[in-house]
Amino acid sequence: MLQVLKALALMNAMRKVLKISSKELAEKIGQSIQAASRKLKELEDEGLIERTLTKDGQFVVITDKGKELLYKEYLDYKRIFEGEGEFVIKGKVFSGLGEGRYYVSLEGYKKQFEEKLGFTPYPGTLNLKIPKEQMFFRAKLDEMEGIKIEGFKTKERTFGDVKAFRCRVNGIEGAIVIPQRTHYPKDVIEIIAPVKLRDVLGLKDGDWVEVEVIV
């Protein structure tokens, strides 16, 4: 019934008396004329619409009860989608190669982290290994633009761009950083934060961590 009620609402039956034949409704909902006619009768019996049959045709309007049902459905979808800008990636803590401490401490990156992310990162990263079943959301990071931390040059070498995403780990604000050049495979993410996450959260290798990505 909800499908039919929604179809009627999309035809403006909440705001005006709508003239509609069972054939028209059947085409809208992709069902037979008989099924459309039956569903209109059911909506009427439930008090969700008011229906009038005359020699000029069939007229329907959605009642207050029908509006309430649609509004409840709207609130359910709102709860589903209002957090769509955020998602969670789960990974297992492991000890990295020690590169994070070096790169995070470089002034060329550090200054941009402070300006663009709003915090001075602890010199090091929390490294997470992402299991296969979580790779859908890990792959999303590659597709998304993120916050660009620009590369730079020194006398010795060139450092590539880094893509960053704001995140939370157990309520602590931080950022996932994805270097343009990295020795890590795609199933690894590195996280920076203003504190040493391992110590503050009491983490050790093998612990599972949920990272809330804020986009």
Give me the residue label for tokens 């986009």: 215
Nearest to 94 by CA among 182, 187, 212: 187
Asked whether residue 196 is marked as a ligand-binding residue, the answer is yes
Asked whether residue 197 is marked as a ligand-binding residue, the answer is yes
Asked whether residue 182 is marked as a ligand-binding residue, the answer is yes
Nearest to 120 by CA among 180, 206, 196: 196
Q: 45-71: b or e for each residue (b if 16 or more CB lie within 10 Å)? A: eeebbbeeeeeeebbbbbbeebeebbe
Asked whether residue 166 is marked as a ligand-binding residue, the answer is no
Q: What tokens does 40 get?
A: 């209109």
Asked whether residue 162 is marked as a ligand-binding residue, the answer is no
Asked whether residue 42 is marked as a ligand-binding residue, the answer is no
Asked whether residue 83 is marked as a ligand-binding residue, the answer is no
Asked whether residue 190 is marked as a ligand-binding residue, the answer is yes
Residue type, 16: K
CA dist 215 and 154 (Å) reads: 32
Asked whether residue 116 is marked as a ligand-binding residue, the answer is no
Point out the annotated binding site. Answer: 96-101, 125, 127, 182, 190, 195-198
Binding-site members for CDP are 96-101, 195-198
Annotated binding site for Mg(2+): 125, 127
Which residue numbers belong to the known binding site for FMN? 182, 190
